[in-house]
Amino acid sequence: MAYRNLLVSDRGAVRTITANRPDKLNALNRETLNELTLAFGQAAQDDAVRCVVLTGAGDKAFVAGADIAEMNGYTPLQGQAFSATGQQLMSRIERLGKPVIARIPGYALGGGMELAMACHLRIASEKARFGQPEINLGLIPGFGGTQRLLRLAGRGAALELCLLGKQINAERAQELGIVTQVVAPEGLDEAVQAVADQLAASAPCAAAGILDAVLQGGETGIDQGLSYETQGFALCFATEDMREGTTAFLERRNPEFKGR
Ligand code: COA
């Protein structure tokens, strides 16, 4: 499928989706949000895709936020619809059932930081900058930023970043638990590829079970969370991959997971 604002490519079982508006630092307008929603829907449906990398075109930005020019003329109802569209996209990514890595070369601000936080792992260049600057525009985060930042980094960091609207560097973002890994700019692709390849070679049912238990468990009590874990654990016993993984250990060889 051809997109106006995205690039989509496959390398083995790794799909890379690139927000491609570099002249606007990959800002999220409505059309880009809709295309991302479609692209992630396709990635979810395609059994050949085991891991998704999400990034932005160019080396200056991952995504510099929701499109301010487009929002400038919105009515409250249009603002509500824009927020709902953005939140649906973030939830779709978070609940994809396959690991999603955010590859962050530069600015991840506002909607860009929200997009990165909806991914499961974040690998950033030392040049990356993070922030929720909406307050500087007379706005609040609208694509889940107040909620996901709260859950990822705690109330102190959420209030500091959202209230002060300031930018933080990748090192500080890692200290806060927002970023998984920080690498030199020239090492970004290699680092992302190594993690993506590892995830793509892992057992999909196990990966899906971990995503489900961690994400659902974060929103519920311990008993319900443990129940998610038991269900996911039990489901793995129905897969060839689990037999292969345990047999390979006993035979002292590397497992070859087939996604069955
Ligand atoms: N929405 C729409 N356009 C954006 C944008 C956004 N969120 N962020 C950047 N752009 C556009 C700029 O308007 C500019 O377009 P132009 O060349 O047609 O004027 C282009 O991208 C380059 O941005 P520019 O501001 O010139 O780059 P810079 O290096 O001077 O500054 C930033 C980079 C990221 C610091 C700055 O662009 C910025 O603050 N962006 C907005 C961040 C933000 O508030 N995001 C949250 C939105 S809710």
- Domain positions in the chain are 6-200, 203-250
Three-class SS state of 183: strand
Catalytic machinery residues: 114, 134
For residue 107, give the ligand 1 atom closest to its CA. 34
Does the pTM of the predicted model rise above 0.95?
Answer: yes
Which stretches of the chain score pLDDT less than 50?
Answer: none
Q: Summarize pLDDT for 152-161 with one digit per residue, the tens.
A: 999 999 999 9
For residue 110, give the ligand 1 atom closest to its CA. 46
Mutate to test the pocket of ligand 1, among 20, 21, 23, 24 (most ligand atoms within 8 A of CB): 24
Ligand 1 pocket, residue 27 CB under 6 Å: yes
Distance (Å, whole) CA 97 – CA 245 = 20
> Residue 217: its pLDDT value, please?
93
Q: Ligand 1 mean position to 64 CA, how many Å?
A: 6
> Residue 1: its pLDDT value, please?
76
> Residue 230: its pLDDT value, please?
97
Q: Ligand 1 mean position to 127 CA, how many Å?
A: 16
Name the CATH architecture for the domain at 203-250: Orthogonal Bundle (1.10)
Q: Ligand 1 mean position to 54 CA, how many Å?
A: 20
Beta strands in 61-195 (DSSP E): 61-63, 100-104, 107-109, 121-125, 129-131, 168-169, 181-183
Ligand 1 pocket, residue 24 CB under 6 Å: yes
Distance (Å, whole) CA 175 – CA 125 = 15
Q: Summarize pLDDT for 29-61 with one digit per residue, the tens.
A: 999 999 999 999 999 999 999 999 999 999 999
In words, the CATH class of domain 6-200 is: alpha beta
Ligand 1 pocket, residue 114 CB under 6 Å: no
Distance (Å, whole) CA 136 – CA 79 = 17
Q: Ligand 1 mean position to 70 CA, how many Å?
A: 12
Distance (Å, whole) CA 255 – CA 69 = 51
Identical fold between 6-200 and 203-250: no
Q: Determine how β-strand 121-125 pairs with β-strand 168-169.
A: unpaired
